[in-house]
Structure formats: structure tokens, C-alpha cells
């Protein structure tokens, strides 16, 4: 009997069908399972810098975590602007696990909307690392955006807090090393490799994050641009910032922020920086907290030594709620 191409296709399909029905149930499940079609290892190739990233896939969302964009900010890099990390060409980055939190208070009861913190490190200059707090899990948002045919890329960033990000003294100001916590807030360099548009970015900030957005918008009197095109505030009134926004720098008025968060106000941080230095014996005799010697001494202290005083002072100085 002569076999045509359609006959051969039908026989092959029939053999496959019979094989499936005769196969064990475990094989059938493996062949047609959700995991076979949807569980895979996502990869991103940054051709500009010759870097490969390996991520995780979970229920239709690709996760790339703990991606470092800056060198370790401890030691000589403490209180200094972030230094962009330079990976050797051909580097393969495992972005499948969470990173550390930037230095802050540990232990004790968590604040509202925050989780207890157990893992802190100054080497925390990453995106989608410890910023992945339960409150900010992006999966639902990403899935809904895709269903609405308006897909997004969600990026959560780490940036230095408290004295690590906003220490101030004459020595730091002379070096132009003030407000380094704000300088940490950059994602433009890597976003294009992940399919994002560096010219169409929306910043969303809650609490001190909202204050950071306000400070970006008003820095340099709004004349030097900001690292995003749109902003959403999730804290405090921001009506005073409306005049700083052009049509391109749109703002969604979700409460807003004034950019005057208590913990990063200049007079407070100057006092905090001096108190930490004094407590750690970093102010030489007949010298001042503003000296280069004091700054060098603070850079040589361990994170644990600085934390001992950098956190206790703001806790004692902050306005009390519900009492005298």
C-alpha cells in the first residue's frame, strides 16, 4: 500500500495517542503538566555589557533578585556616592535569591506595614533584593497589568538609610558627598536589558520613599531633571510639589509627600552624625565633628559599632505619638 504524507502523519499521531493512553499516569502528568509548559528558568542577556542573568519563574511572573548596581558601600566607600559595579565581560549572575537589607534597626516589634528584619549588610546596593517585603510583592500587579494589555516591569530598590545615606558634615559637603541615599536611587542603567524603557519610568514611594521622590523633584530647584518621568506618592500631602511637575513628569496624587521626612532633615542628620562620631571617639582633641580626621575614623568603624549609636539617637529624638 502506498502511503501519502497525510497517511504518515495520521499514523504517527495515532501511535502517539496510543502511547499516551498506555503510559503510566505519572508520565501523562509530566507530559501535559502546568509545570512542563510554564516552569522554566528565565534568562536575560545584557548585550551592551556582555552579562547574563538567571532568574526564577513563578505563576507567570519572572523574578530577577539581588542584582547589584553598586560596589560595596562599607569602609572607604561609606558615606560616598555609589560606585557603579563593573562586571567582567561574560559574567553570569545568579539572580534567584533575595539579598540583604541595608543597615537599620533589628529585633523588637515591627513597625506598621513592615516585617521584622534579620539580615542586614552595607553591601546592599541591589534591586529586587531585600526590598521584596511582603507588602510590596509585585506578582498581582504584574499579572493584572499583563491581563490589561499594559505590561509593566516592577523594580524594587535598596538604598542607604539614616546616617549611612544622609550623614552630613563640612568634610562631606566639601567632597560633595551629601545625600548619598538619594543617589542610590537609580535603575536606568540596567532597565533596558530587561525590556524596560529608561525614558518611561514611574517612581512609587511610601513614607520615606515618598519623601525621596519629593526631594528628587525639588532638588536643584527642579532645574536638573529627575531619574523618572512619572511619580506616585503614598504618604503625606504633596500639593506644594504640583507646580514642579511638567506634563511629562506627571504625578498621581495618592496622598503625596513633602520631602521633609524627620529622619533625613539636614539639622537632625548633622547632629546625629556628630553624636555618632563623639560616641565612637572619632573627634580628636581640639578638633570638630566636621574634620577630615573624624570622617576617616567613622569610615574605619564596623557597621555594628555605628549601628549601636546611629539608631538609638533617632529613636530617642523622634516625636512621641500618643503621649507627652
3-class DSSP assignment, residue 252: strand
- Give dist(CA 259, CA 203) in Å, integer: 14
- Contact in structure between 127 and 158 (CB atoms under 8 Å): yes
119-to-80, 97, 134, 304 alpha-carbon distances in Å: 23, 13, 15, 13
- Give dist(CA 27, CA 19) in Å, integer: 10
- Give dist(CA 254, CA 236) in Å, integer: 9
Would you call 235 a catalytic residue per the annotation?
no
Q: How many CB atoms lie within 10 A of CB 104?
A: 16
- Give dist(CA 126, CA 130) in Å, integer: 8
Q: What are phi and psi of 230, to 5 degrees?
A: -140, 155
**Which of 207, 219, 279, 312 is flagged as catalytic?**
207
SS3 content of the chain, % helix, strand, coil (to 5): 40, 10, 50
Size of the chain, expressed as the number of residues it contains: 324
110-to-107, 158, 206, 251 alpha-carbon distances in Å: 8, 19, 16, 30
- Contact in structure between 158 and 101 (CB atoms under 8 Å): yes
- Give dist(CA 53, CA 43) in Å, integer: 6
- Contact in structure between 289 and 278 (CB atoms under 8 Å): yes
- Give dist(CA 251, CA 258) in Å, integer: 13
The residues carrying an active-site annotation are 207
Amino acid at each position: 500500500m502506498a502511503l501519502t504524507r497525510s497517511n504518515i502523519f495520521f499514523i504517527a499521531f495515532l501511535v502517539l495517542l496510543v502511547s499516551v493512553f498506555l503510559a503510566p499516569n505519572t508520565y501523562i502528568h509530566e507530559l501535559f503538566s502546568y509545570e512542563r509548559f510554564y516552569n522554566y528558568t528565565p534568562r536575560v542577556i545584557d548585550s551592551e555589557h556582555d552579562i547574563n542573568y538567571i532568574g526564577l519563574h513563578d505563576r507567570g511572573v519572572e523574578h530577577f533578585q539581588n542584582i547589584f548596581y553598586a560596589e560595596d558601600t562599607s569602609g572607604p566607600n561609606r558615606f560616598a556616592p555609589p560606585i557603579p559595579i563593573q562586571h567582567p565581560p561574560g559574567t553570569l549572575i545568579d539572580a534567584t535569591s533575595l539579598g540583604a537589607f541595608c543597615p537599620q534597626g533589628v529585633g523588637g516589634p515591627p513597625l506598621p506595614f513592615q516585617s521584622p528584619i534579620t539580615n542586614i549588610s552595607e553591601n546592599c546596593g541591589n534591586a529586587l533584593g531585600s526590598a521584596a517585603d511582603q507588602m510590596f510583592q509585585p506578582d498581582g500587579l504584574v499579572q493584572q497589568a499583563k491581563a490589561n494589555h499594559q505590561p509593566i516591569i516592577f523594580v524594587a530598590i535598596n538604598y542607604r538609610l539614616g546616617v549611612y545615606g544622609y550623614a552630613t558634615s563640612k568634610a562631606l559637603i566639601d567632597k560633595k558627598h551629601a545625600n548619598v541615599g538619594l543617589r542610590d536611587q537609580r535603575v536606568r542603567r540596567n532597565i533596558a536589558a530587561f525590556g524596560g524603557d529608561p525614558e518611561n519610568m514611574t517612581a512609587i514611594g511610601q513614607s520615606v520613599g515618598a519623601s525621596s521622590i519629593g526631594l528628587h523633584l525639588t532638588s536643584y530647584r527642579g532645574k536638573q531633571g529627575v531619574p523618572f518621568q512619572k511619580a506616585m506618592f503614598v504618604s503625606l500631602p504633596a500639593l506644594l510639589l504640583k507646580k514642579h511637575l511638567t506634563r511629562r513628569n506627571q504625578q498621581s496624587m495618592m496622598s503625596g509627600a513633602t520631602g521633609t521626612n524627620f529622619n533625613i532633615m539636614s539639622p537632625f542628620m548633622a547632629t546625629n552624625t556628630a553624636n555618632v562620631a563623639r560616641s565612637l571617639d572619632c573627634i580628636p582633641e581640639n578638633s570638630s565633628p566636621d574634620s577630615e580626621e573624624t570622617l576617616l575614623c567613622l569610615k574605619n568603624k564596623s557597621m555594628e559599632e555605628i549601628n549601636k549609636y546611629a539608631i538609638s539617637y533617632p529613636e530617642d529624638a523622634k516625636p512621641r505619638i500618643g503621649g507627652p
